[in-house]
Structure 1
Amino acid sequence: MDIGYVGLGGMGHAMASNLISKGHTLRVWNRSPGKAADLVAQGAMRVDHPGQAVASDGIVFTMVADDAALDQVVGGPDGIAARLGPGGIHVSMSTVSPETTQRLAALHAERGAAFIAAPVFGRPVAAASAMLFILCAGDAAARARVLPLLATMGQRVFELGPDPVSASIVKLGGNFMIMGVIEAMAEAATLCEKYGVPRTAMMDVMTQSIFATPLYVNYGKLIAQHDYANPGFKLSLGLKDAKLVLGAASNARVPMPLASMMHDRFLSALAKDRGELDWTAAALNVSEEAGLRSPLSRP
């Protein structure tokens, strides 16, 4: 297929590369043009504006950092919405608010185009190996067209019905649960460390017995070793998602005290200039509150 791909960060770049490897022709755009260089070498065409990635009745994927970035590439004279017409499909793979999803779906519908929300679970290494879990919600006919493409980027696609908001809210719910896992592992590891049990030993037991799942294994290793320097998901984005969860909870009148706590964890870490670290670095706050020296502290 002739496809547009907008947003070539760690996740988007890997997913675009997987589409090219399956024989699809891509027009790609990224705010930093250099990130498209190796994709161009693989056969993609780099364009100068997001709208130029779009064929009026074609399919365009977006994978950008937040709601503001998504609004920017969709709106305006050089944006996706201005070029995508009847029969066209915009597949948004970003984690954004239900309100943004609903608004963009309505914007495209006014032009006869479809909007599919398809956020993902998985870090860049999973994107590179096409092992993502992908959510998918929107118009049934549009979903049928994009499902084969999504299948090239992930190990499983979960269809969640005709309302794109369904995929957005399930994604936020999942990210909230990951925040809770980070906090629980950090507190348990810190408790064991205070009793003289190495964090790594404690985490080995847990991830090779009752919590032998990829999330606990991968995140547990980072937390046990305080290994946050190579982010698969930046802490600053964790704060963004905590805000989105709390916003959705407030709109639905759902108290979520753990989400409030994790918002403050991320905010505190950001105040300590940790926004560029992996979001598991929220565990450092737990260690510091227990009187342990931060591994990031200078002698």
Structure 2
Amino acid sequence: MKIGFIGLGAMGRAMATNLINADFDVTVWNRSTDKCQPLVEAGATQADSPADCATADVLITMLADDAALAAVVEEHGLIEAMGENTVHVNMATVSVATGRDMAARHQSAGRAYVAAPVLGRPDMAKAAKLQILAAGPDAAIETARPALETMGAKVWPAGDEPYRANVMKLATNYMLMSAVETMGEAAALTAKYGIEPGDFLEIVTSSVFAAPAYQAYAPAMSKREYDNPEGFKLALGAKDVDLALAAAHAEQVPMPMGATARERLAEAMAAGDGDKDLSALAEVSRRGAHLDD
């Protein structure tokens, strides 16, 4: 099977590498061309433009945000360049509005489109343990399934309308932001009373909150070590909360905790923590509690 892969950030690079290692015929493109070289050395072909990836059996896009996806689609004529039987699988986290727009554009052009955002960080992408939310026409998903199953631990059906997978991803990340924020607040409370954050967090993440959303971020909070290239950047978390709130506003769904989460994420970014791991959100609570004064 021929795969075109566009977007080689931390997630995309790991996902494309797994496809190469599984002997798929992979052609890659990235705006910063130097990121293609390690994959070429692993066996991929480097495309001169995104359109060169579009004639594959499955075209995968894993770009940073709505704007990056729009730039590739519009500036490079990606949909127009797609083969008649090519399935475009967009695995990036994008807004519901963009998800709907992409589906409509592909339908107008008579091309297949699947939204398949992922749950998991770069370390999980490397280990091919991503949870993949796939929504779109059944036949298109089945065409892409061998590639999806190579990159993830499970492919979850999310409906026949692609935007539904986008909604599910945003709702999940909204819950994640809330979990990390409340964990940071609770750790600050216990620290104020002389309890080591690591001791408290080990207890709760081994018992009542023994779940990946907590266990993945507690160690960094305990050590206050937030420079993690394999982690989920705080700024991306803020972007996802914005997208979730926009989706909620569009359908008049109250999400009051979202405003608090967004405010706290903004405080963290103002403090220079945007490129750090999401667990750095705990520092906002520490500063508010004057723990380091």
Short-chain TM bin = over 0.9
Deviation at 1:226, TM superposition (A): 1.7
* Cα pair 2:218 2:279 within 8 Å, conserved: no
Residue 27 of structure 2: aligned partner: 27
List 4+ stretches of structure 1 deviating above 3 A: none
* Cα pair 1:87 1:112 within 8 Å, conserved: no
Alignment-mate amino acid for residue 206 of structure 1: V
Residue 49 of structure 1: aligned partner: 49
Within the candidate set 212, 236, 260, 2:210 is matched to: 212
Distance in 2 separating the partners of 1:217 and 1:236:
20
Distance in 1 separating the partners of 2:183 and 2:262:
17
Distance in 1 separating the partners of 2:42 and 2:187:
44
Distance in 1 separating the partners of 2:69 and 2:163:
15
Q: Sequence identity of aligned pairs in percent? A: 42
Alignment-mate amino acid for residue 145 of structure 1: T
Deviation at 1:85, TM superposition (A): 4.1
* Unaligned segments of structure 2, at least 5 residues: none
Residue 277 of structure 1: aligned partner: 276
Distance in 1 separating the partners of 2:139 and 2:41:
33
Secondary structure class of the residue paired with 2:217: helix
* Cα pair 1:235 1:275 within 8 Å, conserved: yes
Spell out, residue by residue over 1:233-264, the C-alpha distance to the aligned partner (whole angstroms, 9 max, x if none).
11111111111011001001011111111111
Q: What root-mean-square deviation, in Å, do the aligned CA atoms of Structure 1 and Structure 2 show?
A: 1.2
Residue 92 of structure 2: aligned partner: 94
Distance in 1 separating the partners of 2:22 and 2:223:
38
Distance in 1 separating the partners of 2:278 and 2:127:
22
* Cα pair 1:101 1:164 within 8 Å, conserved: yes
How many pairs were matched up? 292
Residue 170 of structure 1: aligned partner: 168
Distance in 1 separating the partners of 2:58 and 2:247:
29
1:74-223 matched pairs, under 5 angstroms: 74-76=73-75, 78-223=76-221
Larger relative contact order (C-alpha < 8 A, sep ≥ 6)?
2
Distance in 2 separating the partners of 1:83 and 1:238:
32
Secondary structure class of the residue paired with 1:215: helix
Residue 235 of structure 2: aligned partner: 236
Deviation at 1:224, TM superposition (A): 1.9
TM-score (norm 1): 0.95
* Cα pair 1:234 1:277 within 8 Å, conserved: yes
Spell out, residue by residue over 1:210-246, the C-alpha distance to the aligned partner (whole angstroms, 9 max, x if none).
2222221121112222221124111111111111011
Distance in 1 separating the partners of 2:99 and 2:164:
10
Spell out, residue by residue over 1:82-105, the C-alpha distance to the aligned partner (whole angstroms, 9 max, x if none).
201432211001111111011011
